[in-house]
Amino acid sequence: MKTKILVTGGAGYIGSHTCIALHEAGYDIVVYDNLSNSNREAINRVSILIGQPIEFIEGDIRDTELLREVFALHKFFGVIHFAGLKAVGESVSKPLLYYNNNVSGTITLLEVMAEYSVKNIVFSSSATVYGDPESLPIDERSKRSCTNPYGQSKLAVEHILEDLAASDDSWNLIALRYFNPVGAHPSGQIGEDPNDIPNNLMPYISQVAVDKLEKLSIFGNDYSTVDGTGVRDFIHVTDLAQGHVAAFDYLEKQSRLNESGTTQQYSVGFLPINLGTGKGTSVLELVCAFSDVSGQAIPYQFTDRRAGDIASCYASVDKAKMLLGWQAELSITDMCQDTWRWQSMYPNGYDVS
């Protein structure tokens, strides 16, 4: 029988790509999403891409009763927990919404998992938990600190997972700390579809490229980086999706070892792992790469630094390689090509009305 995984937030940007990767890797999936930041059309497109309907439940992770029904109906091996709100600026103006959704929601999910003895979880954490890093590349033992409610909510969940692991070694809890996910599925059928004017760089660039936005503002050109603009570790969303498959393969392998009884009982505990490429790319380098790939001019202007931004951020990727046997494969050109394909095929994202 196939291993069954509950994917919370599976209709979203990273979740939808991960559903495809999980299906291709032979996992059975059930998606649970309240569609607060996603579109049912993403689920339809994923179903078409994988050639069979996705089992989808519209629901909120704060809804204990509905979660109980879902866990009673399905025998899950574990959960990939993408569901959460992610806009840094909005989190500053609506902190209670962010703590309620991201922290209380996760507690509710963990409580129901415990009730049904489902103790394997892969949580979507973020490089944001490292704040302004003391040194580069950033490894998983680096100091954690956050300056905004969104980041605090990710850090709070990490602490909860750590405490849970310490209290009971039957929990296996992996926190994947994503760096800067970009790109889209190579088919061009699914991708990132921001509700409003994008906050993040890549969707902003791609909307300038299709003339939805007039020009990019580059926030600061006086950082001590290669060209004065910010440096980030951009990672293709399909590489990231494979990282989740590798994390679940790891959890399954540990569980099989334990079941075979040939080794000492092994607990994964709380395991934080960076998912990045290990390479930094500057804002200007990304703009140039996108312009080359798309053949479109990307008009830009330099403006003041954005509050809360750091100069440079890129991952140490050794732990993911060593433990999960995973590493990112795709280049900045691939990331731009696939973003451009999605954006030019669907300039209005999933809104095709």
Please list the active-site residues.
150
| Residue for token pair 């399909």 | 238
Nearer to ligand WQD, 55 or 239 (CB): 239
Establish if 281 lies at the interface with ligand NAD (CB under 6 A).
Answer: no
174-193 binders of ligand NAD (CB under 6 A): 178, 181
Nearer to ligand NAD, 151 or 220 (CB): 151
Answer with the entry of ligand WQD, ligand NAD, none that 49 interacts with (C-beta below 5 to 8 A by kind): none
Q: Which residue in 120, 124, 312, 337 binds ligand NAD (CB under 6 A)?
A: 124
Q: Which residue in 15, 220, 278, 280 binds ligand NAD (CB under 6 A)?
A: 15
Residue 270 CA to residue 158 CA, distance in Å, equals 9
> Mind giving me the DSSP string for 237-250?
HHHHHHHHHHHHHH
94-113 binders of ligand NAD (CB under 6 A): 101, 105
Establish if 217 lies at the interface with ligand WQD (CB under 6 A).
Answer: yes
The 10 Å Cβ neighbour count of residue 309 is 14
Answer with the entry of ligand WQD, ligand NAD, none that 14 interacts with (C-beta below 5 to 8 A by kind): ligand NAD
Residue 76 CA to residue 31 CA, distance in Å, equals 12
Residue 10 CA to residue 28 CA, distance in Å, equals 13
Residue 283 CA to residue 201 CA, distance in Å, equals 8
Count Cα atoms within 13 angstroms, Cβ side, for 156.
17
Q: Which stretch binds ligand WQD (CB under 6 A): 4-12, 38-46, 214-222, 269-277?
A: 214-222
> Mind giving me the DSSP string for 105-145?
HHHHHHHHHHHTT--EEEEEEEGGGG-S-SSSSBPTTS---
Answer with the entry of ligand WQD, ligand NAD, none that 122 interacts with (C-beta below 5 to 8 A by kind): none
Answer with the entry of ligand NAD, ligand WQD, none that 199 interacts with (C-beta below 5 to 8 A by kind): ligand WQD
Decide the pairing of beta strands 281-282 and 231-232.
Answer: antiparallel
57-76 binders of ligand NAD (CB under 6 A): 60-62
Nearer to ligand NAD, 105 or 131 (CB): 105
Establish if 38 lies at the interface with ligand NAD (CB under 6 A).
Answer: yes
Describe the chain by its helix, strand, coil percentages, rounded to 5. 40, 15, 40
Say which amino acid occupies 147.
T
Smallest distance, Å, CB 20 to ligand WQD? 21
The first and second tokens of residue 12, run together, are 């979203």
Beta-carbon contacts of 343 under 8 Å, excluding residues fewer than 6 positions away, are 184, 191, 206, 207, 209, 210
Establish if 35 lies at the interface with ligand NAD (CB under 6 A).
Answer: yes
Nearer to ligand NAD, 5 or 61 (CB): 61
Smallest CA-to-CA distance from 127 within 169, 78, 73, 88 is with 88
Q: Give the 3-state secondary structure of residue 285.
A: helix
Q: Which residue in 230, 243, 276, 349 binds ligand WQD (CB under 6 A)?
A: 230
Smallest distance, Å, CB 45 to ligand WQD? 23
Smallest CA-to-CA distance from 138 within 332, 333, 329, 316 is with 316
| Residue for token pair 């795709």 | 330
Nearer to ligand NAD, 37 or 316 (CB): 37
Question: Which residues in this chain contact ligand NAD in the complex, by CB under 6 A?
Answer: 8-9, 11-15, 33-38, 60-62, 82-86, 101, 105, 124, 126, 178, 181
Contact residues: ligand WQD, CB under 6 A: 86, 88, 126, 128, 180, 199-201, 204, 216-219, 230, 232, 283, 306, 309
